[in-house]
Each structure stands twice: as structure tokens, then as C-alpha cells.
Amino acid sequence: MSASETRIPVTLIPGDGIGPECVSAARRIVEAAGAPIDWEEAEAGADVFRKGIASGVPQETMDSIARTRVALKGPLETPVGFGEKSANVTLRKLFETYANVRPVREMPGVVTPYSGRGVDLVMVRENVEDLYAGIEYMQTPSVAQALKLISVKGSEKISRFAFEYARSEGRTSVACATKANIMKFSEGTLKRVFEQVAPDYPEIDSWHVIVDNCAHQLVKRPEQFEVICTTNMNGDILSDLSSALVGGLGYAPSANIGNEVAIFEAVHGSAPKYAGKNVINPTAVILSSVLMLRYLGRFEEAAAIEHAIFVTLESGVLTGDVLGYDRGTPTTDYTDAIIGNLGKRTEGWAIREVKPLQLPVLSAAPDYVRPDSRFVVGLDVFVESPLTADELGASLTELAHGTRMELKMISSRGTKVYPPTGAMTESGDHFRCRFIIRENPGDLWDEDVHQLLARISRRHTWMHIEKLQEFDGDLGFTRDQG
């Protein structure tokens, strides 16, 4: 490094449990490789919760990340009894790091049932939407609801990101894993948008795989995958499964990347039982720092560290998670060995040539999709009732008389129970009651909705309504089973 070289500020969060040991190993190696990083140490996690800061992330840490735009962090504990939200999720969401990247590849000396098969894939998981938005309600004392929100814009960002990531690593295929066959609107949005943007990347093969089959294929023939693009919860599950294929969490790095900020961390948590014992495997955080260096355009130092890790593992220097904690190399000695191997090159293992990642540029306009036509054609009213479906159906039909709407059907957990179908559906206290506009299907006005709700309230308890909409002639709601 020349004296005049620009220094790069990076926020460094040691984290909880084994975090400080892992982060210190990564920092020493990055410095020994000569990367011109200026670390800004910042706090987050358990101690911060204990101070009464409910997010687990103090303002100074937020300010540091807002300034440096890049953070390397250790795992953060979510203490039970302090605070409510995970500090990790807070960081990911507040900086809109919409892409979670989890590379999974076979490592030398780490023997698994998949050794020798060349597993080398990257999970690209949408990181801020989906069920992990954590919007949940008890709709009745016995029925819970979680909202699964998936946007066209979020889907376009993650799809384009997956293709751009594939390009940057010279990969030739991207699979999109969704449950679009069942959740046609939510999961289906990612599938549709992925298929729309795929032609913009003609040199990359793209295909869709149903997520349950994806899990099956990952166990059966993981070497067929290069990049997998998927929704938040699917990606969480598939990436843990994938990391187990190559030796577990000790080797699983990750990056949370957004348009403005990127946060690099291991997939693993704070593993408190190993904290301070100098026995854990710091490779996942070290590999996360390799991802960080590439993001910062420091390709030489990144490749040098990756080569040194591989040379170290090839020489049989392995940590306790692989060899057993009575025989493994201590964390600090393992780190020293990697530093000692900087400058050496692995012969047996390919290290990827990586090009700068081009982040997708999308309009920041909030109203991203504007249909040419839109109508409200009916209303779903969610009702809590001790009545049978037949009794409730008769009552609601009577109450809707004289309004612009009529009761079309009632369902229990998605299956039609009124008018009776003969199905053996058990219903509880939670009913979805669908009202459709009686005549002049066109726009249903809010006054019509208020009138219907006022009538229903005379006899029943409703807790939620959903307008049934049509956009450009397409129904914006699902039909029921039965």
C-alpha cells in the first residue's frame, strides 16, 4: 500500500459471545493483508439492550454506519427479557440492506458427505420484506395472522441483484426458488418479476424451481446450483440447509447489501457456550471480511486472504468444530496460521476471479406500479363468531339486505364453509365473509363499506376487512378451496 492511498473507513462491531474473538481474527488478517481500512469500533447487542436501548443499536453506532456506509459485525444476541426486536434485524431494516448474500462452498480438509462434489453456490435472499417484516396479529383469541408482504419493486431489486451478483462472479445460472404454485400473489410476484427481468441478462441461464423441490435438490444434487434467488423466509431456511452441506456455520459468511450501506457478518450467532474460550472457528467472519473487501473493490487483498485460508485448511490446521474441541487448533493460533500463509497460493482449489458488483438502479418513486384501471368489487369481512357457518351465513345474508352488497360465501382458514359444500371442514371462531357488489359491478364506495360494517356490527364482532380489488381487469384476490 502506498502512503498516499486513500484509507477506507469501516464500522467494526465486535458483538456478543464469540463475536469479539471472530471479529478480532478477521481484523488482524485484513490488516496483515495490507488493506487500507480505518476501523471505527461501535457497540450493539446485549450490553446495549441492558442499558435500556430497546433497538439494541445506539445512535452513535447508527451514525457511524451512516458515515462509513460499510460495517463488519460480530453476532448480536437478542436477550430474552430485554428489548423486543433483534438488533440484527434493526440494522438490516434501517439501512434497507435488501439483499442477503450467503455463499456456500466446499472447503479443503472439512470432510462432509458432499466432499469432492464441488458444491459452490450463492444464496441471494430478499432481506427486508415477506413474513419477516414481523407484522402479526391475534385476530381472535385463538387465531393468529402474519402478513406476508412482497412488492414488485422489492422483487425486481432482488432479482436484478441476483443476476448482477452472478455476473460479477462469472456464474452462468440463476435459479429462482418460490412457492408460487400455492401463494400465487405473494411468492408469485417474485417468480413473475424474476422472469420479466431475466431476458436483460441473456448470457445467464435462468429457471424457476418450487422451493420444496429446491430443498430436495440441494440435498440430492447441490452441485447443480450456482445462484439461488429467493424470498426472505425461504432463503433463511435454504441457506442454513446449504451451509450444513459444506461443514456448518463455522464456514458460512454473509453480506447484507443495500443501495447505500453494506453490512458483513457470519451467518452464525453468538454461540455463548464457547465465548472467551479461544476454541471457536472464526472462518465465517473472516470470509465475511473477504466479501467486504470485494465490495470495497479490494480484490487483491480479498483473493490473498482466501488463498491463505485455503492453504491453512489444506495443511490440516483446523478448529475444534471440525476436529473436536479437545484436538482443534485454538482460534488465535488458527488466525496466526492464516496470517503466516498470506502470499501463498492454493494449487488444488479454484479461487474465483471477481469483478465489481453493479447494484441495480431502480426508480425511488413510491408509486411504482400504476394500473390503467382499478375497481373495488367487494369486501372480505373477518368475523369472530361462536355460531355455525350456516347460522352466520343466514344472519349476514339478512343484514346485507338493502345494501349494495350480498354475501357470496364464508370460509374457514381458506376453505369454503357456506354455502355448504359437503366438505369436512372444521371451523373455529374465525370466519372470512365475502361480500360482492350486487349490481353495477364497478366501484364500491367507502360509504357502502361503512353501511355494511355498521349493519354487521349490530350482531357480530368483526376484526378486519380487506377490499376486493381488480387491477387492469385482473382479480387482486384469491378464490377459496371448495
| Whether residue 212 lies in the annotated active site | yes
Minimum distance between the CB of residue 47 and ligand NAP, rounded to whole angstroms? 13
What φ, ψ does residue 53 adopt, rounded to 5°?
A: -90, 110
Catalytic residue among 16, 120, 132, 408: 132
Among 97, 243, 281, 385, binds ligand NAP (CB under 6 A): 281
Q: Which is nearer to ligand NAP, 14 or 75 (CB)?
A: 75
Minimum distance between the CB of residue 270 and ligand NAP, rounded to whole angstroms? 4
Report residue 311 as a C-alpha cell: 492453504
Q: Which helix (H) or strand (E) holds 31?
A: helix 19-32
Q: Which is nearer to ligand NAP, 20 or 34 (CB)?
A: 20
Q: Which is nearer to ligand NAP, 78 or 341 (CB)?
A: 78
| Whether residue 179 lies in the annotated active site | yes
Q: Which of residues 359-388 bind ligand NAP (CB under 6 A)?
A: none
**String of DSSP letters for 183-238:** STTHHHHHHHHHHHHGGG-TTSEEEEEEHHHHHHHHHH-GGG-SEEEE-HHHHHHH
Spatial separation of the C-alpha atoms in residues 456 and 435, rounded to whole Å: 12
Minimum distance between the CB of residue 44 and ligand NAP, rounded to whole angstroms? 9
Query: How many residues belong to the site for ligand NAP (CB under 6 A)?
Result: 17
Reduced 3-state DSSP string for 86-107:
CHHHHHHHHCCCCEEEEEEECC
Q: List all residues 6 or more positions away from 110 whose beta carbon is below 8 Å from its beta carbon.
A: 246, 247, 251, 313, 318, 322
> Residue with CB nearest ligand NAP?
269
Among 13, 271, 296, 317, binds ligand NAP (CB under 6 A): 271
User: Under the criterion CB under 6 A, does residue 21 sit at the interface with ligand NAP?
Assistant: no
Minimum distance between the CB of residue 84 and ligand NAP, rounded to whole angstroms? 13
Catalytic residue among 38, 63, 200, 212: 212
Q: Which helix (H) or strand (E) holds 446?
A: helix 446-459
What φ, ψ does residue 419 adopt, rounded to 5°?
A: -60, 150
Q: List all residues 6 or more positions away from 474 whose beta carbon is below 8 Å from its beta carbon.
A: none
The two beta strands, 136-140 and 143-146, are antiparallel
Minimum distance between the CB of residue 205 and ligand NAP, rounded to whole angstroms? 32
Binding piece for ligand NAP, criterion CB under 6 A, among 4-12, 265-273, 292-300, 433-441: 265-273
Q: Which helix (H) or strand (E) holds 173?
A: strand 173-178
Minimum distance between the CB of residue 56 and ligand NAP, rounded to whole angstroms? 10
**C-beta neighbour count of 30 within 10 angstroms:** 25
| Whether residue 274 lies in the annotated active site | no
State the burial class of residue 307 (Cβ atoms within 10 Å of its Cβ: 0-12, 13-18, 19+): buried
Q: Which is nearer to ligand NAP, 287 or 396 (CB)?
A: 287
Q: Which of residues 71-90 bind ligand NAP (CB under 6 A)?
A: 75-78, 88
Per-residue x/- marks for ligand NAP, 1-20, CB under 6 A?
-----------------x--
Binding piece for ligand NAP, criterion CB under 6 A, among 50-58, 217-225, 278-286, 291-299: 278-286
Among 29, 162, 280, 292, binds ligand NAP (CB under 6 A): 280
DSSP conformation class of 251: G
Q: List all residues 6 or more positions away from 266 whose beta carbon is below 8 Å from its beta carbon.
A: 22, 74, 75, 249, 252, 253, 254, 284, 285, 288
Q: Are 108 and 348 in contact (CB under 8 A)?
A: yes
Q: Which is nearer to ligand NAP, 36 or 79 (CB)?
A: 79
Minimum distance between the CB of residue 239 and ligand NAP, rounded to whole angstroms? 11
Q: Which of residues 218-257 bind ligand NAP (CB under 6 A)?
A: 249-250
* H and E: helices and strands count for the chain: 14, 18
Residue ranges of alpha helices (H) inside 44-141 are 46-50, 59-68, 87-94
User: Under the criterion CB under 6 A, does residue 265 sit at the interface with ligand NAP?
Assistant: yes
Q: Which of residues 284-343 bind ligand NAP (CB under 6 A)?
A: 284, 321
| Whether residue 38 lies in the annotated active site | no
Q: Which residues of 34-63 are buried (b: 16+ CB within 10 A; e: fewer)?
A: ebebebbebbbbbebbeeebebbbbeebbe
Minimum distance between the CB of residue 123 and ligand NAP, rounded to whole angstroms? 15
Minimum distance between the CB of residue 283 and ligand NAP, rounded to whole angstroms? 8
The reply to whether omega before 419 is within 30° of 0 (cis) is yes
User: Under the criterion CB under 6 A, does residue 269 sit at the interface with ligand NAP?
Assistant: yes
Catalytic residue among 130, 236, 321, 336: 236
Spatial separation of the C-alpha atoms in residues 239 and 267, rounded to whole Å: 9
User: Under the criterion CB under 6 A, does residue 129 sit at the interface with ligand NAP?
Assistant: no
Q: Which is nearer to ligand NAP, 102 or 404 (CB)?
A: 102
Q: What is the set of active-site residues?
A: 132, 179, 212, 236
Which stretches of the chain bind ligand NAP, using CB under 6 A? Answer: 18, 75-78, 88, 249-250, 265, 268-271, 280-281, 284, 321
